[in-house]
Structure 1
Amino acid sequence: MILTVTPNPSLDRTYEVPALMRGEVLRATCDRMDPGGKGVNVSRAVAAAGHRTLAVLPLGGAPGALVAELLGAEGIEVAPVPVTGQTRSNIAVAEPDGTLTKINATGPELTAAESEALLTAVRAHSADASWIACCGSLPRGLGPQWYAALAARAHEAGARIALDTSGPSLLAALRERPDVVKPNVEELAEAVERPLKTVGQALRAAEELRGRGARAVLASLGADGQLLVADSGTYFGHARVEAVRSNVGAGDASLAGFLAAGGEGPGALAAAVAHGAAAVQLPGSVMPTPDDLDPAGVTVTADIPLDRVLTQPAEYAR
């Protein structure tokens, strides 16, 4: 069972439009509503792959109730932590060429009691978990040390921690030696405080995170693929993609595939790449099922293309 923790979940509405024109009245060609948040998406992808998952998350107000209802409809077990604030609602506008415009709400501010209740809920449900995936930004009221505290408690209980966050929250948690961290290339650049323009530079940045405490790094390089840097070796994976429809939740689908495949080694990296490639070809934040995957289209190698220039280099501005 994979337990996910989403401290700042959302209700996500995605609209597909022929073109985004500022100041105009637009008619959507397609729209959908999904439960959102990085950990929520990991649970949705794990469930879509046929595995058991439990989502621990703070929920408040009518949007929070709808998030729980939508998750239940997807067969996902939910352990809600009631909060007084209202769960945020986010909007995404997708264009035919794959361009995505997102408007993310701030979300509620959690009290000290609600913060502790969330940690307690994770501990209470962690006994059966093969992995605990801690994902996303922290809401107001939770300091950057919160994920570090969660990782410490989880490790005390014998659970493995996968962490997908960024900025001070990521750096603070490294001292608790998370079993895997999953930054994208922009988050890597922020963590090492320099731009990353090649696969080799991204690899060195991932190695630095390992040096600071991460036991393994699963780094997303966008259209260029993914890197896995761990004790078992360093691997590079990429996949063919026919057309990008929406990249919402693609990184979360990748992490779900990685964890569901055991969370280590080239086989798990291949699963991560396959899930991410499938997710970007689906609408909104729809998570891929086994029928959507194309394992034959995935290549994983220990021969890292160090000089390969990234399609979307990561800049860094101090």
Structure 2
Amino acid sequence: MDKGNGTTVTEFILVGISEIPELQFYLFCIFFCIYIITVLGNASIILIYKLSPNLHTPMYYFLSNFSFLEICYVSASAPKMLHNIVMGRKTITFHDCFVQMYSILFLAGTEFYVLAAMAYDRYNAICHPLLYRVIMNNRVCIQLLCCSWAIGAANALVHTLLAYRLPFCSNKIQHFFCDVPPLLKLSCINTWINELGMYVIGGSVTGGSFVLTLISYIKIILTILNIQSSSGRKKAFSTCTSHLTVVAIFYGSIFFMYLRPKSSYAMHHDRLVAVMYTIVAPLLNPFIYSLRNNDVKLAVTKLLQKRLTWKY
């Protein structure tokens, strides 16, 4: 179809996670609790970092910034979804839809490179322990974060502008937030430019951060295998397991969602995958890093002891 066959869309209808009316109350309760726990959990990581001088290292500097990203990331989709469930009118304006799309793509792209920066930090801590403080100084940490935000912003802008130019023959989005794949389904014209952009630009951004992370961990593993002491190997591995868990969850769901041809999109499956990387992953982040991290548990214990001392 040519562009003239598209209708003027002023708002979109977000189908949500499920269209079954009887499930809406339960979905609201579940995802409202998840959202509150996610925000409080990630905010706690930031607060613990701020109040604990022993955690003022590059590793926890990146972790606190990652937790801030997770709060923003889950807030870009969950509140609107919860609002639509309560109101019973699952709509979003045309412009708000693209603002939401940009925000989610921007934050996701930034998270990729913050995860890569965290892997690079672990590489230097394990492979170059004597030079670690010199290599990972404050200036380098800030530069890595700024580059992450810049790449995320540029990547999101490209995909959002490409989607914004499309004419739409329908306004019913088979999703719970505005995302590129379900919007392409509504277009009246061939979306090969958008798909090419996802594969080439999006794939380069996602794949680039994945390769950087992978290279860091290959070098880390090779270094750990050369450690003679079994306790030393165990301690080195323990500093990486939390980060590797987050990387596996985040990259796995993102690769499945975006790096496929449009013809293979199955929206009922994709909604479940999207729940994993937009809602479940941010929920798990504070638990993965706190329950599996002795430094964080020690910092929490010291803060609680200090609090009890002040109280009595």
Q: Is the pair's TM-score, using the shorter chain for normalization, greater than 0.5? A: no
Q: Give me the TM-score of the superposition, normalised by structure 2.
A: 0.25
Q: TM-score, normalised by structure 1?
A: 0.25
Q: Considering only CA atoms, is the larger Rg found in Structure 1 or Structure 2?
A: 2
Between Structure 1 and Structure 2, the one with more strand by share is 1
